[in-house]
Amino acid sequence: MIDIKFLRENPDLVKENIKKKFQDHKLELVDEIIALDEKNRKTKLNGDELRSNRNRLSSQIGLLMKDGKKEAAEKIKLQVTHINEELIINEKEELDLAENIQEKMMKIPNMIHESVPIGKDDSQNVEIQKYGEPIIPSYEIPYHTDIMEHLHGIDLDAARRVAGNGFYYLIGDIARLHSAVISYARDFMIDKGFTYCIPPFMIRADVVTGVMSFEEMDAMMYKIEGEDLYLIGTSEHSMIGKFKGQILKKEDLPCTMTSYSPCFRKEKGAHGIEERGIYRIHQFEKQEMIVVCEPEDSYKWYDKMWSYTVELFQSLDIPVRTLECCSGDLADLKAKSVDVEAWSPRQQKYFEVGSCSNLTAAQSRRLGIRIKGEKGNYYAHTLNNTVVAPPRMLIALLENNYQEDGSILIPKALQPYMGGKSILQVK
Which pLDDT band, with edges at 50, 70 and 90, does 276 fall under? confident
User: Does 115 map to a domain?
Assistant: no
Q: Please, what is the angle between helix 27-66 and helix 70-105, to 10°? A: 160
- Percent of the chain past pLDDT 90, that is, above it, reads 87
164: left (phi over 0), alpha (psi -120 to 50) or beta: left
Residue 42 pLDDT exceeds 60 = yes
Residue 264 sits in a domain whose CATH number is 3.30.930.10
Owning domain of residue 66? 4-105
Whether residue 175 is contained in a domain is answered as yes
Same domain, 189 and 326: yes
Q: Are 327 and 24 in contact (CB under 8 A)?
A: no
378, 348: one domain = yes
Which of 105, 139, 172 terminates a domain? The answer is: 105
The average pLDDT across 367-388 equals 96
The 10s digit of each residue's pLDDT in 168-194 is 999 999 999 999 999 999 999 999 999
Confidence of residue 129 (pLDDT cuts 50, 70, 90): very high
**Structural contact between residues 29 and 332, judged by C-beta atoms closer than 8 angstroms:** no
Closest listed residue to residue 286, CA positions, set 397, 395, 392: 392
> Does residue 86 sit in the same domain as residue 144?
no
Q: Is residue 233 part of a domain?
A: yes
Same domain for 54 and 159, yes or no, is no
50, 70, 105 - which closes a domain: 105
Mean pLDDT of 209-220: 86
Residue 112 covered by a domain: no
Check if the beta carbon of residue 219 is closer than 8 Å to that of residue 266: yes
Instruction: Decide if pLDDT at 262 tops 70.
Output: yes
Count of domains forming the chain: 2
Residue 212 maps to a domain: yes
Would you place residue 270 in the very low, low, confident or very high pLDDT band (cuts 50, 70, 90)? very low
Mean pLDDT score of the chain = 94
Determine, yes or no, domain membership for 20: yes
Same domain? For 308 and 226 the reply is yes
Would the CA dihedral through 36, 38, 40, 43 be positive or negative? Answer: negative
Q: Which tens digit of pLDDT belongs to each residue from 381-392?
A: 999 999 999 889
pLDDT of 271 reads 57
Residue 99, domain CATH: 1.10.287.40
57 with 203, same domain: the answer is no
Q: What does the DSSP assignment read for 74-102?
A: HHHHHHHHHHHHHHHHHHHHHHHHHHHHH
Say how far residue 31 (Cα) sits from the centre of its chain: 28
Residues 367 and 417 in one domain: yes
Indicate whether 338 and 417 sit together in one domain: yes
pTM of the model: 0.90
Q: Domain boundary residue among 48, 70, 105?
A: 105
**Structure confidence at residue 69 (pLDDT):** 84
Residues 75 and 150 in one domain: no
Q: Indicate if 172 and 92 belong to the same structural domain.
A: no
In a domain, 110, yes or no: no
178 and 35 inside one domain: no
DSSP string, 398-411: HHHTB-TTS-EEPP
Averaged pLDDT, 308-329: 98
177 lies in a domain? yes
High-pLDDT (> 70) share of the chain, %:
98
Task: Tell me the pLDDT tens digit for each residue of 12-30.
Answer: 999 999 999 999 999 999 9
With H, G, I as helix, E, B as strand and everything else as coil, classify residue 15.
helix
Are 344 and 236 members of one domain? yes
Do the Cβ atoms of 155 and 169 come closer than 8 Å? yes
